[in-house]
C-alpha cells in the first residue's frame, strides 16, 4: 500500500486531492484494491470484485461530481449493468445485472469508481452478514463478532479504512445496525429522499431506503446532496431541503429539545454498558447546551410483529418470482432455510393480514409524530446488546424459533423509524470495555435530516471518532 495517509481522508477529502492533481483516480483505485487484497481475507467484506469495471470508468473519463475519483462499492443488492449481483443467494451466484438502478446511476454521476459489491445477508433479511453463499463478514474490531447487517460488508470496509464511504441500505435498521457494530457513521434518510427504482416500487412497504455509511458526517451530507430527489417512478417524494445538506455540516444546531431512553422499546433493561453510554451521551448533550429529558414514545402496536409481516410478504414475492423464472419450486439449495420459512409464512397470510400490518405501521408512525411535537430529537441505543458473535443467528438452522426473541432483545428500536419514514442516524460515540463500538441512535422529524446533520457535526467535533482505528485496519 503506497498511499499510507489514504485512511486519514474522508471521501470529499480524497476527491479534493484528485481535483488538485495531487493524486490520480487510478492511484486511489490501486490503493483501495491493495487494501482490499490485504484485509479482506480476514474480513470478507467485499464479496464481488469487478476491478476492470472501475478502471474502464476512469479510462472513459469520470463525471465532475463531488466524489470524483473516490473508490467505492455497491451493496450486493443493487444493480450495475454488466456486473454480478448475487443478493447473497446461492440461486443468483452468477447473475449479471442487465441494467443499472437509479441510485447506482447517481453514484456514478457523483464521480465514484465502483470496483465491487459489499457483502449482504440473503436478500438483506438479517442484522448480521453471514450468508451461506459468501460466508460471514467479520467485525474489524473483533473478528469473532458480526459486523452487523444487512450492510455489514459496507460498514466493515469503511471501519477498516478500505474505503472512506460505501453504499448501504436500510429497511429495518440495516444502515444503523452495522454502523453501530463497526464504529462508523450511518444516516438513514427520510422516506423517498433517495431513489430506489426502477426495479422496486416502495421497498418493504415504504420501509426501505438507500444511502451510505461513512467515516465522516461531511461525506454523508455531501452524498445526500448527490443522491436525493425523485425519479420518474417515484410514488411520492420527500419534502425538499431548505438548503444543500452539505451546508448543514458545521452549522449551529441551536438549543435542541432532546428526549432519551436507556431501556429498550419494550421497556426492558439492556446491556448495562450500552445503557451507561446512552446516559453519558445525554450528559454530553447537556454540556453542549441542549435541553435533555428522559422519556420515550408509547407505541400502540408491537413493531416486531409489524416488520415481520411486511418483510415476510416481500420475501414471499421474491421467492415466487424466482420460482416463476425457474419454472420449479425453490429448495434450500437455492435459498436459505430462513428465506423459505419467511416465504411460507407469507403464503399462509392473506391480503387482509398485510393491510392490517400496514395499518399498525401507520398507527406507530402517528404516535411517533405526536411524540415529536414536543421534542426535536430522540436519543436511544442503536443496539441493545453488544454486536453478536458469528453464528448466533443461523439462517440455515432447522429450528428458527430462537431468532425472533434474539432480534427483539438486540434491535428493538431501529425499525420504528422505517415505519414512520423519519430520518435516523447511528453515531459512533462509545466503545465497550472489550473494545467493541456502541453506536447511539438519534431520530428527527420527518424530512428533517438538517437538524440531525447539524447535531452529528457538533458531536463529531466534541467527541471525534475518525482517529479511532480497529486492530484489523489498514
C-alpha cell of 391? Answer: 453464528
174 in active site: yes
Yes or no: say if 441 and 411 are a contact pair by the CB < 8 Å rule: no
C-alpha cell of 180? Answer: 453501530
Q: Which of 118, 146, 174, 380 is catalytic?
A: 174
150 in active site: yes
Q: Which of 118, 120, 146, 150 is catalytic?
A: 150
Q: What is the DSSP string of 274-321?
A: HHHHHHHHHHHHHHTT-EEEE--PPPSS-HHHHHHHHHHHHHHHHHHH
- Of residues 211, 165, 177, 212, the one with CA closest to residue 191: 211
Q: Which of 75, 169, 318, 415 is catalytic?
A: 75
- Of residues 455, 373, 381, 375, the one with CA closest to residue 416: 381
C-alpha cell of 62? Answer: 469520470
C-alpha cell of 266? Answer: 419494550
Kindly report the length of the chain: 474
Going 442 to 459 to 409 to 179, the CA torsion angle's sign is: positive
CB atoms within 10 A of CB 232: 8
SS3 of 41-76: the string is: HHHCCEEEECHHHHHHHHHHCCCCCCCCCCEEEEEC
d(CA 436, CA 302): 29
75 in active site: yes
Instruction: Name the residues annotated as catalytic.
Output: 75, 150, 174
Amino acid at each position: 500500500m503506497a498511499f499510507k495517509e489514504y485512511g486519514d481522508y474522508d471521501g470529499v477529502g480524497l476527491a479534493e486531492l484528485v481535483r488538485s492533481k495531487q493524486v490520480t483516480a487510478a492511484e486511489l483505485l490501486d490503493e483501495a484494491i491493495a487494501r482490499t487484497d490485504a484485509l479482506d481475507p480476514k474480513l470478507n467484506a467485499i464479496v464481488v470484485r469487478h476491478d476492470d469495471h472501475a478502471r474502464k470508468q476512469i479510462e472513459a473519463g469520470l463525471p465532475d461530481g463531488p466524489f470524483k475519483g473516490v473508490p467505492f462499492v455497491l451493496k450486493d443488492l443493487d444493480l450495475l449493468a454488466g456486473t454480478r449481483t448475487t443478493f447473497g443467494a446461492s440461486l443468483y451466484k452468477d447473475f449479471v445485472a442487465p441494467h443499472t438502478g437509479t441510485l447506482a446511476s447517481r453514484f456514478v454521476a457523483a464521480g465514484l469508481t465502483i470496483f465491487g459489491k459489499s457483502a449482504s445477508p440473503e436478500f438483506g433479511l438479517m442484522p448480521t452478514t453471514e450468508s451461506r453463499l459468501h460466508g460471514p463478514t467479520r467485525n474489524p474490531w473483533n473478528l469473532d463478532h458480526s459486523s452487523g447487517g444487512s450492510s455489514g460488508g459496507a460498514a466493515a470496509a469503511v471501519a477498516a479504512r478500505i474505503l472512506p464511504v460505501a453504499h448501504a441500505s436500510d429497511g429495518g435498521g440495516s444502515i444503523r445496525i452495522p454502523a453501530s457494530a463497526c464504529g462508523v457513521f450511518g444516516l438513514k434518510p427520510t422516506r423517498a429522499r433517495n431513489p430506489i427504482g426502477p426495479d422496486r416500487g416502495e421497498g418493504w412497504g415504504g420501509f426501505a431506503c438507500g444511502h451510505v455509511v461513512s467515516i465522516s458526517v461531511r461525506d454523508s451530507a455531501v452524498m445526500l446532496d448527490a443522491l436525493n430527489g425523485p425519479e420518474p417512478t417515484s410514488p411520492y417524494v420527500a419534502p425538499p431541503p431548505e438548503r444543500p445538506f452539505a451546508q448543514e455540516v458545521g452549522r449551529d444546531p441551536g438549543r435542541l429539545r432532546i428526549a432519551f431512553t436507556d431501556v429498550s422499546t419494550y421497556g426492558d433493561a439492556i446491556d448495562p454498558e450500552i445503557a451507561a453510554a446512552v446516559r453519558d451521551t445525554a450528559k454530553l448533550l447537556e454540556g453542549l447546551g441542549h435541553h435533555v429529558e428522559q422519556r420515550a414514545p408509547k407505541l400502540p402496536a408491537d413493531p416486531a410483529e409489524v416488520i415481520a409481516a411486511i418483510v415476510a410478504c416481500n420475501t414471499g414475492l421474491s421467492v415466487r418470482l424466482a420460482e416463476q423464472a425457474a419454472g420449479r419450486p425453490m429448495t434450500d439449495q437455492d435459498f436459505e432455510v430462513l428465506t423459505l420459512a419467511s416465504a411460507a409464512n407469507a403464503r399462509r397470510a392473506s391480503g387482509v393480514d398485510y393491510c392490517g400490518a400496514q395499518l399498525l405501521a401507520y398507527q406507530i408512525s402517528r404516535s411517533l409524530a405526536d411524540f415529536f411535537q414536543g421534542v426535536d430529537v430522540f436519543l436511544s441505543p442503536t443496539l441493545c446488546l453488544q454486536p453478536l458473535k458469528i453464528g448466533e443467528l443461523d439462517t440455515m438452522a432447522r429450528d428458527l424459533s430462537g431468532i425472533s426473541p434474539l432480534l427483539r432483545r438486540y434491535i428493538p428500536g431501529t425499525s420504528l423509524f422505517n415505519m414512520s419514514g423519519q430520518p435516523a442516524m447511528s453515531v459512533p460515540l462509545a466503545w465497550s470495555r472489550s473494545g467493541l463500538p456502541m453506536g447511539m441512535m438519534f431520530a428527527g422529524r420527518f424530512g428533517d435530516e438538517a437538524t440531525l446533520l447539524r447535531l452529528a457535526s457538533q458531536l463529531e467535533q466534541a467527541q471525534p471518532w475518525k482517529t479511532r482505528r480497529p486492530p484489523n485496519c489498514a
